[in-house]
Structures are given as structure tokens and as C-alpha cells.
């Protein structure tokens, strides 16, 4: 637990604070884990479509590159928007 509390990447994630309810901590952790997995998959896909674009500079390849890049950009700002998330910790529900 001390190791987790010392992780800089989690300092802004309120669910990782000791005051968070266990239910919110679990939901928050799973959300971050899923975002990480999706980001990893998108990075692999971006590498693939970048290589494909370098090999074949077509509008179709460029459009696919832009689509994957847009997905990655959208993921960066994504935060938990789960129904009821935060209520067990005394926070207002996500809209």
C-alpha cells in the first residue's frame, strides 16, 4: 500500500487516496487499467498504420492514420464517467 501511495502517476487520481471508499477504489483502478490497455493497443495500431502509410501513401491509409491518432487523443482526456462513481466516497455522481 505504501508503494501505491508513493506513485506520482496516481497523485491526481482521488480513488487512489486512502479516504476513497473501497468500491470507488476498485472501480477507479479498473478504469485506469482499461484505459492503459486501450492506449497500449492504440499505440500498436498507430505503429501499424504509420508503417502502412509510409509503404502506401494513399488517402485511405492517411485517413486510417488520422482516425487512430484521433482515438488516441480522445483517450488522453478520458476520465471515469461511470454511473454512481464517487457516491460511496461522498462525492457527487458523475454526470
Tell whether the model's pLDDT for residue 46 goes beyond 50. Answer: yes
**DSSP character at residue 17:** S
Tell whether the model's pLDDT for residue 5 goes beyond 70. Answer: no
Write out the DSSP string of 56-72: ---HHHHHHHHHHHHHH
Q: Backbone dihedral region of 31: left (phi > 0), alpha (psi from -120 to 50 degrees) or beta?
A: alpha
Mean pLDDT of 11-39: 85
Mean pLDDT of 24-51: 92
How many angstroms separate the CA atoms of 32 and 75, rounded? 11
pLDDT digits (tens, 9 = 90+) for 62-74: 999 999 999 988 8
Q: Work out the mean pLDDT of the chain and round it to a whole number.
A: 81
Amino acid at each position: 500500500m505504501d508503494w501505491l501511495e508513493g506513485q506520482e502517476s496516481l497523485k491526481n487520481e482521488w480513488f487512489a487516496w486512502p479516504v476513497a471508499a473501497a468500491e470507488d477504489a476498485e472501480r477507479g483502478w479498473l478504469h485506469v487499467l482499461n484505459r492503459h490497455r486501450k492506449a497500449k493497443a492504440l499505440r500498436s495500431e498507430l505503429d501499424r498504420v504509420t508503417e502502412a502509410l509510409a509503404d502506401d501513401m494513399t488517402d485511405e491509409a492517411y485517413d486510417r492514420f488520422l482516425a487512430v491518432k484521433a482515438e488516441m487523443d480522445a483517450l488522453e482526456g478520458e476520465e471515469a464517467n461511470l454511473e454512481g462513481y464517487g457516491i460511496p466516497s461522498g462525492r457527487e455522481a458523475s454526470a
